[in-house]
Amino acid sequence: MSVSETQKKMAVDFFKDVQDRLLSAFEKVDGQAQAERKPWQRPDGGGGTIGVIRGQVVEKAGANVSEVFGEKYPAMEGEFKDKPFFASGVSTITHMYNPYAPIGHMNVRLITVGDTFWFGGGADLTPFKVFPEDTQEFHDSLKEACKLHASDSYDKFSKWCDEYFYIKHRKEIRGVGGIFFDYLKGDFDTLFPFVQATANAYVNVFPKILLRRKDTQFTEEEKDAQLYWRGRYAEYNLVYDRGTKFGLMTGGNYEAIFVSLPPVVKW
């Protein structure tokens, strides 16, 4: 099933709106720092906008939008190899200075190849210090969004998240989970509201958790431990993450792709 140009524009406009709302929320959480936006162009078609905030509270947060296209989908083999493609999405990652404030990640995307399209995305929470009430609120928000897809979606996508964000070489799950989904095909007008609900849930719940934890007292030892713990996040994104690989394979902006990495990290 194909997707129309009007539907593509609806998705891109929504992704841009999510980026704006996230950057505004991060500015409020930090209290002083302002987000910087940097447009970029892809020589082979399309581009995007990098949005980054760096401050004393929000150590580094990014919210990027991309819209790229080309004549050959970067698949090594299979039915999609060398077919024309279009890909757009919004991706966000946050690293807070306070060890008690969690890392948060979310992305949603639309990809079309030839006459086929699908949605993918998800959201997950990676706290250094786990608070059950934060975990519950985060999952409850995503569970509500999943009701727009199917009755068993939350259980399915939550399990998928734990399997996807599994650091094999450490035999650890990254964080306290969330949801993950990919290759959702079908009717655009049926699937898109669920994708919107997922992103909206994150925009609503994650800043609340940051505001709750950003001023918690911590020790130098806890800050140092946080930096070592961040290494797991960097390892995962560099070794396993599909989005990182896809961005590089399609000639995306490397500055945007690697905005997910922590600003300071130890091993």
Active site residues: 105
Angle 253-255-260 (CA atoms, 0-180°, nearest 5)? 115
Residue 261 DSSP class: S
Task: Pull the structure tokens for residue 110.
Answer: 């639309």
Residues in contact with 105: Cβ distance below 8 Å, sequence separation at least 6, in sequence order: 92, 93, 94, 123, 124, 126, 260
User: DSSP class of residue 260?
Assistant: G
Q: Which residues pair with 86 in a beta bridge?
A: 69, 112
Polymer length in residues for the chain:
267
What does each C-alpha distance from 34 to 30, 57, 131, 210 come to in angstroms? 9, 12, 28, 17
CA distance 231 to 120: 26
